Structure 1
Amino acid sequence: MAYDRAFGDWVRDHLKDLGAIEIKPMFGAAGVKFGGAMFAILDDGEIWLKADEALAAGLEAEGARQFNYATKAGEVMVMAYWSLPETAVDDADEAVAWARKSVEVALRPKPKRR
């Protein structure tokens, strides 16, 4: 996992039509927030969008990959984040459309635990 500030600057510019985003370095990567909710991770030069089942299906259909990493114990952990489709890397309007869907997922109230 690695976060490059220059990449963060590019992401701010690429998603500027979304509105003000906040990028905070964390665990070697960075979290991206909108409206106080984390909707993306920046890692190794990629944007990973938070997704529910429906959004994940749409992202996967566009060739996106699910975020995963290996633990020190050798386990592969899978998270509910998907790569930004390649076509959206070169198209800011498309990237913002995907980001808006991800923000909607991130802003949903979490189910209460018992």
Structure 2
Amino acid sequence: MDRDYLAELFAGFGPVTIRRMFSGFGISADGINFALALRSRLYLRADEASFAKFEAAGSQPFSY
């Protein structure tokens, strides 16, 4: 994934900032980092309320 693709993908969120992070990109809005694009994968920030929903959809947590 490149910067332009990510900007287009998250355009519906409003203004987002895309910065280099861990050989990929960190995506943030309003100063809050909510996603990481790394090695052709997209990792979204989860909390206690959303973790089970992501897991049920087949998502896996980020790990090195």
Which TM-score band (shorter chain)? 0.7 to 0.9
**Greater radius of gyration (CA):** 1
Q: Residue 59 of structure 1 corresponds to which residue in structure 2?
A: 54
Partner AA of 1:10 in structure 2: Y
Aligned residues: 64
How far apart, CA to CA, are the structure 2 residues paired with 1:48 and 1:63? Answer: 12
* Higher relative helix content: 1
* Structure 1, unpaired ranges of 5+: 70-114
Q: Residue 36 of structure 2 corresponds to which residue in structure 1?
A: 41
Shift of 1:55: 0.8
Name the SS for the 2:62 alignment partner: strand
Partner AA of 1:43 in structure 2: L
How far apart, CA to CA, are the structure 2 residues paired with 1:30 and 1:12? Answer: 11
Name the SS for the 1:40 alignment partner: strand
Superposition RMSD in Å? 1.3
Partner AA of 1:18 in structure 2: F
**Deviation beyond 6 Å, 4+ runs, structure 1:** none
* Structure 2, unpaired ranges of 5+: none
In the superposition, the TM-score normalised over structure 2's length comes to 0.86
How far apart, CA to CA, are the structure 1 residues paired with 2:20 and 2:4? Answer: 13
Q: Which moved more, 1:8-17 or 1:32-41?
A: 8-17
Percent identity reads 31
Instruction: Determine which structure has greater relative contact order: mean sequence separation of CA pairs < 8 Å that are 6+ residues apart, divided by chain length.
Output: 1
Name the SS for the 1:68 alignment partner: coil
Name the SS for the 2:8 alignment partner: helix
